[in-house]
């Protein structure tokens, strides 16, 4: 069973240079959250700080009634056992075969007899589809297999919180799709709390329950996926839609002159793409934390981008044609009252697939 992780006012710097400041967010128990951000904004540093490998300058990381940065080394060692971490490169020992790599945390942190170690290692290797690769060295298997071996090792102590640092880096799109499905299935099976750092926009759009974005030394936004996927906040919109137009430049932030030139050129951000349905477990059953598609938008009076949830069965969506019509009527009234705001948005596009047929 996963646990909630509550981060409050977390700040980290190196040699007086802040990486990020005043980060506050809650990773809900058992849910999948994704953390995005331009390169070098400190996502890996955030994961390492969460797990206690780096000490923050200020702030709290609450797990139950324990505040990690305030724990003694000994207490922290105990709490770390709640975590499983999949590092970017799998972080396997090159001279150990896959079996010994996966068995390592069990031999290091428990007194289990070798027969039990074997049973657990075999179970986790089967879970990640690596049965038969036990005797291979990390250098003898593909990058994708190394990731899965790293994942098996992250799972052997049955962690309640699993952190993934770019699990999809270096993988082709098909392997990324398989890995994402594996992550969803693992979440369903273990009910652990997941935090995934990724640069893959498709992963960010379909895998998580919540999305966060670190930008320019702070947490720009964190919340339910529908909140970010329908956000018109320029940084969020630019990043989630992989656009060049917007505040983020090649070297992180565009300067005022670049932004002015962009505004003068009349180039605008393209419309938000439709929100796709969340990826479901392989058995097709709803995720434990699943909320009806469109529910957040409806409850918060936000109109999702046209075409959203077209791939969710009508009976399961929380945003229906009726809501769209009600919303259109409400917005039309607002438009009539304020005038000069141009034509009303094309809410019918919400079901554009049906309409265009």
Ligand X SMILES: Nc1ncnc2c1ncn2[C@@H]1O[C@H](COP(=O)(O)OP(=O)(O)OP(=O)(O)O)[C@@H](O)[C@H]1O
- Judged by CB under 6 A, does residue 53 bind ligand X? no
- Judged by CB under 6 A, does residue 44 bind ligand X? yes
CB of 175 to ligand X, least distance (A): 19
- HSE-CB at 176 with a 13 A cutoff on CA atoms is 17
* Residue 223 β-bridge partners: 211
- Gap between the Cα atoms of 31 and 16, Å rounded: 34
By rule CB under 6 A, what string of x and - marks binding of each residue 65-104 to ligand X? ----------------------------------------
| Nearer to ligand X (CB atom), residue 14 or residue 77 | 14
- Judged by CB under 6 A, does residue 41 bind ligand X? yes
Q: At what angle do helices 173-190 and 143-155 cross, to 10 degrees?
A: 10
Question: Applying CB under 6 A, which part among 36-44, 108-116, 244-252, 336-344 lies near ligand X?
Answer: 36-44
- Gap between the Cα atoms of 342 and 338, Å rounded: 10
Which of 10, 27, 34, 43 touches ligand X by CB under 6 A? 43
Q: In what order do the strands lie in the sheet with 83-86?
A: 83-86, 161-165, 193-197, 32-36, 210-215, 218-224
Question: Applying CB under 6 A, which part among 43-51, 111-119, 130-138, 201-209 lies near ligand X?
Answer: 43-51
* Total residues interacting with ligand X, rule: CB under 6 A: 10
DSSP annotation string for 73-92: HHHHHHHHTTEEEE-TTTT-
Which of 42, 144, 159, 246 touches ligand X by CB under 6 A? 42
By rule CB under 6 A, what string of x and - marks binding of each residue 13-32 to ligand X? -x----x-------------
Q: In what order do the strands lie in the sheet with 17-27?
A: 17-27, 5-14, 58-63, 66-67
Which of 25, 45, 85, 219 touches ligand X by CB under 6 A? 45
| Interface ranges with ligand X (CB under 6 A) | 14, 19, 37, 39-45
């Amino acid at each position: 069973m996963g646990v909630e992780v509550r981060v409050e006012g977390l700040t980290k710097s190196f040699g007086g240079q802040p990486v990020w400041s005043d980060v506050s967010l809650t990773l809900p128990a058992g849910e999948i959250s994704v953390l995005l951000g331009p390169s070098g904004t400190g996502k890996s540093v955030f994961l390492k700080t969460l797990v206690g490998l780096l000490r923050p300058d200020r702030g709290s990381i609450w797990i139950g009634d324990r505040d990690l940065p305030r724990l003694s080394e000994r207490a922290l060692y105990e709490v770390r056992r709640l975590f499983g971490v999949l590092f970017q490169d799998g972080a396997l020992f090159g001279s150990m075969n896959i079996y010994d790599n996966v068995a390592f945390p069990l031999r290091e942190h428990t007194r289990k007899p070798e027969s039990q170690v074997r049973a657990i290692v075999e179970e986790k290797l089967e879970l990640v589809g690596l049965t038969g690769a036990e005797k291979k060295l990390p250098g003898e298997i593909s990058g994708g297999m190394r990731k899965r071996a790293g994942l098996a090792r992250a799972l052997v102590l049955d962690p309640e919180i699993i952190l993934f640092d770019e699990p999809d880096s270096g993988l082709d799109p098909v392997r990324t799709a398989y890995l994402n499905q594996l992550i969803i299935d693992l979440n369903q099976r273990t009910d652990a709390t997941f935090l995934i750092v990724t640069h893959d926009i498709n992963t960010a759009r379909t895998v998580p329950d919540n999305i966060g974005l670190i930008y320019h030394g702070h947490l720009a936004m964190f919340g339910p996926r529908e909140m970010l996927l329908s956000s018109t906040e320029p940084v969020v919109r630019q990043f989630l839609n992989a656009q060049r137009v917007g505040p983020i430049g090649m070297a992180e932030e565009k300067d005022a002159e670049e932004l002015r030139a962009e505004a003068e050129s009349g180039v605008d951000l393209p419309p938000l793409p439709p929100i796709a349905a969340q990826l479901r477990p392989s058995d097709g059953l709803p995720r434990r934390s699943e909320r009806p598609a469109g529910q957040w938008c409806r409850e918060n009076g936000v109109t999702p981008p046209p075409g959203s949830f077209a791939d969710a069965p009508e009976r399961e969506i929380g945003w229906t044609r009726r809501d769209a019509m009600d919303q259109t009527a409400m917005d039309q009234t607002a438009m009539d009252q304020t005038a000069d705001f141009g034509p009303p948005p094309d809410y019918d596009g919400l079901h554009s697939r049906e309409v265009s047929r």
